[in-house]
Structure 1
């Protein structure tokens, strides 16, 4: 194994695996830290954790455990992958985990680049934009778990860790890999260790990737991985070839827990055309909505049925105020986990999950150890295979309004 990756959620990890596979690496995504060695031939291993919103010290412990396993597989370079909208709180977990990994690897020029131009995430003068809007004005300021109220990644990161934060400007990035390397060295000489690096296009990420050759640790969104495979290819280390995708024509269900703007649009489009069942925190906690009932409903429908807890920000806030943030979130996650177990036990072979927490619940419910990477459904959202099951784990912000329909077709082999 050449490149060892640690993802802080399941959707982001599949996004990263998709990026690396498209660039020619043989990739396997692991659900949690494996207990056995990797199979032969894996060039990039992605350990998917569910650490984005847990306590910072627990996130650090899980990430270091993943690092130890990846080191044991012989990895030459490591990547800590987080959301391209830098989803985190002022306490973490991005800064604390990045700092802990840097200390363990003795890494001193650590790239911080949450950029994914294909989905509108760009960084300029240290400020993160989403489709041309500052992060704090993009809708992410209303995220129920990680409200992003400051677009200055340097400032946000500095609140999370005492490790010195620097900046590599677009002016340096546009001059190419050599200039980027020189900027890294200048920041290092000035005592700055976590280097927020501007990028607004794929070409910028390729140059940053070239400058990252030999660096022990890189952090960012999946876009930062675009230029890394070429470094290994130049050394003659890549074998090439990928997973031979085959779909499944079994029953397909859609589970949506994300409350992002993109997913709200997808749910609105889908429920106007397909069977849809709304799930509320009130009904789940009251016991009037049960996993058994939801599973029965899903499997009784024709077409492409959707069960969704997706709601407007005001509705989410009201539930959190009534029950507490943790209880409201776990009620939906636990329900979706049990629904997943039930529908698969009854014959469903295609699962479409929207939202990081929902996707994590699905994968953990099915106890999936490893996922093979199939074709891309939308930027950042590949098809995945685990035995007879076909899945996609979609970040809330990704995909157009027809995503669920498109995903069902690709999971079916189209």
Structure 2
């Protein structure tokens, strides 16, 4: 089996989001966590996502990790590459979207990049180079208050120009709406004029398919999960034509193959589920509020317990006292005012301490027999996956768009649902458990 697409994602829940999109397109997907080691094996798959944590790290560290991931992907025979960043373009003023795209252009030998964070299924669209969340500009959405990457400028051309020395251009929606040949001509014109990064408007899934069709000869694309899914659809259809698989035949080809090695859902008990929430987004706060009314819950409160070691001891005691046969919730999610109070009590490393506690509690729960983990927040997901020592998972069915279940391999698999802080309906945590 040939691995068609290798994707590099800048955080863990971003990795699950794009993996879900690739799977929706009919590909069998493996999700690898962290920087792969040179000898690390790749499970049989059509696409592989390497999910790392470099969204807010230094440019130097991010570049080092991405270079290592790229080398590993090429060693696995991958020739098509996708750089997945957040559909709300989460980044600091310095990067890392611009610098990492520059690096990947250098590694792949491409002259011009496609910049397309649009993900209509999640309400993220780009028009006239401006990013919208639902019907609001990015700068008017809750993302403007993000504690790590406050997004106060919706103009992607302007944002990217601050992160890279390469000229940035725009392919407007009128061009996209005219079809692939017109888009291809616009890209070629911009490239000949020296433009290095091309932001593309897209307000629908069909727009993303148009962009992919126009750039199908590229070995590198960048964007949100929406463009990746459109690219995977094209790759799938081209392979189906090449192998003689009738389009739409669910009994043959990659559509059927995607589940050959999946772990049956019923092998992992739904009763012993631990929900861990660290995201402070509005969506997660609402989901935590709903879950607290349904399940026993314990809050990690730095104001009440500023000593991380004591906080962990108290949470462990609470966890051990709960009946193992029902879902349990442990959360550090807090409002902006509560976060300020927490930092005043615990210090500048508050977020790091909370992530460590949540990861340690996941290890405790696994030792007690818990095999289903539902985790809210990208940083929290990274802490939990790292603490559990999980290197890779197979991606399975989605609970909601962009939020898939993932399963480890082996005789006693763990089942994970890693949720981006901004994703999901109010009942997502309850429904997951």
Calculate the TM-score normalised by the size of structure 1.
0.94
1:310 aligns with 2:328: no
Return the match for 1:97 from 97, 100, 119.
Answer: 100
Say if 1:90 and 1:287 are closer, same or farther in 2 by CA, change over 3 A: closer
Q: Who wins on radius of gyration, i.e. which is larger?
A: 2
Indicate if the aligned counterparts of 2:119 and 2:125 stay in contact, CA closer than 8 A.
yes
Map of 1:61-210 to 2, 5 A cutoff? 61-210=64-213
Cα distance in 1, alignment partners of residues 41 and 209 from structure 2: 28
Cα distance in 2, alignment partners of residues 323 and 275 from structure 1: 25
1:295 Cα deviation (Å)?
A: 3.3
The count of corresponding residues between Structure 1 and Structure 2 is: 407
Q: Which residue of 2 aligns with 1:246?
A: 264
1:329 aligns with 2:351: yes
Indicate if the aligned counterparts of 1:350 and 1:391 stay in contact, CA closer than 8 A.
yes
Cα distance in 1, alignment partners of residues 106 and 209 from structure 2: 26
1:215 Cα deviation (Å)?
A: 0.6
1:331 Cα deviation (Å)?
A: 0.9
Q: What's the secondary structure of 1:149's corresponding residue?
A: coil
Q: What's the secondary structure of 2:8's corresponding residue?
A: strand
1:58 Cα deviation (Å)?
A: 0.3
Indicate if the aligned counterparts of 2:30 and 2:43 stay in contact, CA closer than 8 A.
no
Return the match for 1:352 from 374, 387, 393.
Answer: 374
Q: Which runs of 5+ in 2 are unaligned?
A: 244-252
1:284 Cα deviation (Å)?
A: 5.2
Partner deviation per Cα, 1:224-256 (whole Å, 9 max, x = no partner): 112212332314376442133522115111000
1:98 Cα deviation (Å)?
A: 1.1
Say if 1:310 and 1:33 are closer, same or farther in 2 by CA, change over 3 A: same
Q: Which residue of 2 aligns with 1:411?
A: none
1:291 Cα deviation (Å)?
A: 2.6
1:289 Cα deviation (Å)?
A: 4.5
Q: Which residue of 1 aligns with 2:16?
A: 14
1:341 Cα deviation (Å)?
A: 1.0
1:51 Cα deviation (Å)?
A: 0.9
Between 32-41 and 188-197, the greater mean CA deviation after superposition: 32-41
Indicate if the aligned counterparts of 1:333 and 1:358 stay in contact, CA closer than 8 A.
yes
1:166 Cα deviation (Å)?
A: 1.1
Indicate if the aligned counterparts of 1:283 and 1:289 stay in contact, CA closer than 8 A.
no
Cα distance in 1, alignment partners of residues 109 and 406 from structure 2: 34
Map of 1:178-327 to 2, 5 A cutoff? 178-233=181-236, 234-235=238-239, 236=242, 239-240=254-255, 241-243=257-259, 244-247=262-265, 248-249=268-269, 251-283=272-304, 285-287=306-308, 289-302=310-323, 303-320=326-343, 325=348, 327=349
Indicate if the aligned counterparts of 2:378 and 2:419 stay in contact, CA closer than 8 A.
yes
Partner deviation per Cα, 1:331-386 (whole Å, 9 max, x = no partner): 11111111111111111101000000000001101111111111001111100101
Calculate the TM-score normalised by the size of structure 2.
0.90
Q: Which residue of 1 aligns with 2:429?
A: 404
Q: What's the secondary structure of 2:162's corresponding residue?
A: helix
Cα distance in 2, alignment partners of residues 281 and 100 from structure 1: 40
Cα distance in 2, alignment partners of residues 308 and 217 from structure 1: 38
Q: Which residue of 2 aligns with 1:386?
A: 408
1:296 Cα deviation (Å)?
A: 3.5
Q: What's the secondary structure of 1:226's corresponding residue?
A: helix
Indicate if the aligned counterparts of 2:303 and 2:345 stay in contact, CA closer than 8 A.
no
Cα distance in 2, alignment partners of residues 324 and 177 from structure 1: 53
